[in-house]
Amino acid sequence: MIIAAPSKIVQLFQQVEAIVSPVYLVGGSVRDILLGVDPSDYDFTTPLLPDEIELAVRQAGKRPYIIGKAYGTIGFKVDGQLVEVTTFRTEIYPPDSRKPIVMFINDLTYDLSRRDFTINAMALKIDGTLVDPFSGHLDLTHKYIRTVNKAHARYNEDPLRMLRAARFASQLNFTIDEEAESQALKKARKITEISQERWVQELDKLLVSEHVDVGLEFLARTRLLHFMLPELAIQVGYDQDSPYHQLNLWEHTVKTVRLVHSGLTLRWAALFHDIGKPYVRQKN
């Protein structure tokens, strides 16, 4: 399949390819192009090793950003736009560790196979050819969020992917694959292995999404909410038993969040606005 990318992206691609070659546009930026959305960032991948990328960037008169070099990533700016180029790699997660052992490889498909969801596991060649070994374009067409290969393996590698599924569902208004959801329910406790700082990064993005209710309901159904925000999980199914409320407490909270302006502070305030009700409520 040949993709016609916007001219400004083609120009950026050409400038990057003039410095590092061969190179492929990859991940979320490809997904956004297929959705007709301007990418917020640009990630490229290449079979070149990190030292070779860095040398090519320096020879082009650019300043390389090497903070991610140990993981194969070199950044540099093109016309003021920061781009990152990462060597094809595979990752092995040791038992009881969230820090992967990175090995550089020379296989684009194998590199794509380590990614979380099919819609993020596509690459684009400079001639517009789409590399899509896991049918991500089809899942985009069907508005589906599906893990690359088995969901349980993807979640074991990085449990944050369960929360990322909720976030993408909220941003895109997509349906989460049945296996991806059932495995999230089984493995919800593993979210406690991830730092709360990483939770917040994903929750911030989820809360300002247009379809915030889609992600919040996923968190409730899979019990991720129970392990992340147990004070809110109490609201799920909580009967307010009031003539003023037709919804249970969680339904009311989700609706309130959805109706509030999508500013981050207001959305967090709406999420927590009734958090004390189950603890202080008194029945006459």
Q: How far apart are CA 133 and CA 162, in angstroms?
A: 22
SS3 45: strand
Residue 50 has what pLDDT? 97
Residue 114 has what pLDDT? 92
Q: Which amino acid is at 208?
A: V
- Bridge partners of 145, per DSSP, are 176
Q: How far apart are CA 249 and CA 239, in angstroms?
A: 6
Residue 4 has what pLDDT? 82
SS3 82: strand
Residue 243 has what pLDDT? 65
Mean pLDDT estimate for the chain: 93
Residue 94 has what pLDDT? 73
pTM, rounded to two decimals:
0.91
Tens digits of per-residue pLDDT, 28-65?
999 999 999 988 889 999 999 999 999 999 999 999 99
Residue 5 has what pLDDT? 83
pLDDT digit of tens for each residue in the chain (284 aa)? 888 888 899 999 999 999 999 999 999 999 999 999 988 889 999 999 999 999 999 999 999 999 999 999 999 999 889 999 999 998 877 766 667 788 999 999 999 999 999 999 999 999 999 999 999 999 999 999 999 999 999 999 999 999 999 999 999 999 999 999 999 999 999 999 999 999 999 999 999 999 999 999 999 999 999 999 999 999 998 887 766 678 899 999 999 999 999 899 999 999 999 999 888 876 65
SS3 185: helix
Class of residue 92 by CB neighbours under 10 A (exposed 0-12, middle 13-18, buried 19+): exposed
Q: State which H helix or E strand residue 24 sits in.
A: strand 24-26
